[in-house]
Structure 1
Amino acid sequence: MGICAGRVVVVTGAGRGIGREHALEFARQGARVVVNDLGTGPGGEGRSGDTALDVAGEIQELGGQAVASSDDVSDWDGAARLVKTAVSAYGRLDVLVNNAGFVRDRMLVSMTEQEWDDVVRVHLKGHFLPLRHAAAYWRERSKAGDRVTGRVINTSSGAGLLGSVGQGNYAAAKAGIAALTQVAAAELARYGVTVNAIAPAARTRMTEQVFAATMARPESGFDLMHPANVAPLVVWLGSEESAHVTGRVFEVEGGTIALATGWRHGPKVDRGARWDPAEVGEAVTGLLATAPPPEPVYGT
């Protein structure tokens, strides 16, 4: 028994790294898991259904329940099949963890249209489509009078919150995911669904070069960058205990959980009439003098 006992969970991008750890921890906490992964390389190349099957097999060997899915979450029909897989296998869907993604890093002056489109498609569209089909399922259940305790956990990034040099496509997609999380939380609350996001820092295929300096374990034996460190927060957000938390973005790294506060209304000046362009500069300078400085962009 665990805090997600009996719940049915879909985890996208669950074949490796952070997503794999999510799937395993949900299973340890009693959930039945749909392990979704295309089995692609770190840049989205190739495809193999074995990746999802391997993790589903691990869960079954642990005594848990899991099925594999190799549906493409950035495809309308593929995302619909993913939700149907959960309902067909286990009779319901309670939790959606959107995690799938890859990177194609490039400075903006060198980035191709295809590199932009591919990253935005798999991250942002790949979050929207499973969310869209899961939301329709939960709305239908709610209207039928069923008690819904739906949970969505999206995956943003520090790059999406603060920006990251050389990752304009990735940062834009992850910023979009944070905004999508807020909108979905407001729209789906009426159906008994909460929507939150995480911005994790962990060592995966996508980040192993970035965190190479932190690969060595400290004397305590605690690996700060191990992807398993992210899973406990995600599993709790997927439980019924988290019903009071929605529309939030959490940064998680090692043993640290932080609440990201995001954009807020700042200082303002009202002229009471249309501005003369020559007067705007002084007004903006005054606003900047009273506002906190922005957080630095990663890589600067």
Structure 2
Amino acid sequence: MAGDRRVRFRVVVSEDGLMLRQLICRRFAEFGVQAAADLIKAGGVYVDNVRIRIPSVRVAKGERITVYRAAASTVALDAEDLEIVHRDPDFVVVNKPAGVPARSTRASARGTVAQALVHRLCADGHLRPYVGPVRPLAPGASGLVIYTVRDQEAVSHQPAFVEADLVSVDRLVVEGEAPATLRCDAPVLMARSGRLKAVSADTFGARPARTDFRLLERRAGPDGAVRSLLEATATRAEGEQAAVHAAALGFPIVRGATAGEDSASEPHAGDPYREGEPAAGAAHLHRAKITLVHPLRGETLVFEAPPPAWALTADERGA
């Protein structure tokens, strides 16, 4: 079974009372005691529906164990590599790299921007800091993400920031020949899987959303098919709203390199549009600008993150 898929089983009578790390060793030949403990600390193991990160927790007969083996190979993001665009007592704005989760995923709590930000704040003297992502981007996208920040004793302002007026300007590459302008006002909903999707207005929990698209450039893909570089202005800016709305209009977003292609660290000679493109699993979506009305102070704040090479037009690249 692939390491990025979950494995589920129930604790049997002979395993009753074992420590969680012992149980993992017993069930999975590839994990020794230390490796099993590391997997648990990385957030790759659940007891029933609760993520457990303490290897010495004891299990009981009948409990359902869920294991995501991919968590063992997830590398933590170095806090020093974190690009902080703005820092305020209430929140921080980070320029998230493509392919790095903004927050914990179902499979792992390691290797996220949120984890690196906590480590950065601890190094700066914060006592047990808590960070809360505000309408974060999906792991594959890059660009600006807001995190509320508080210390152990402080009140969380995350709910206020989540409901604040926020407009994003994203750049994305989509399949197909898009017209000069487009608009989509389909409501969106965050599914239980963590994916944002466009839904009908009568769907329970749906939130109003609107995205206006402007064509910046048309270009040829590796197979010769036409692709379009779009600038998307999204109200409320729920995660990958621009990509979801583009797909709803018939223009799915282009994902990163596929198996067998070069990675983002290996430029594609002779093809300026693929130089520095997202690696496998990433997306051609970059949040270049956000305008936020601060929910506590009422002031309008604007933050920007320069687009990567793939998101620039030929004129912007000087080609």
| TM-score normalised over the length of structure 1 | 0.26
Query: Which structure has the highest helix share of the two?
Result: 1
Q: Which has the larger radius of gyration?
A: 2
TM-score (norm. length: structure 2): 0.25
User: Quick check: which one's strand share is greater?
Assistant: 2
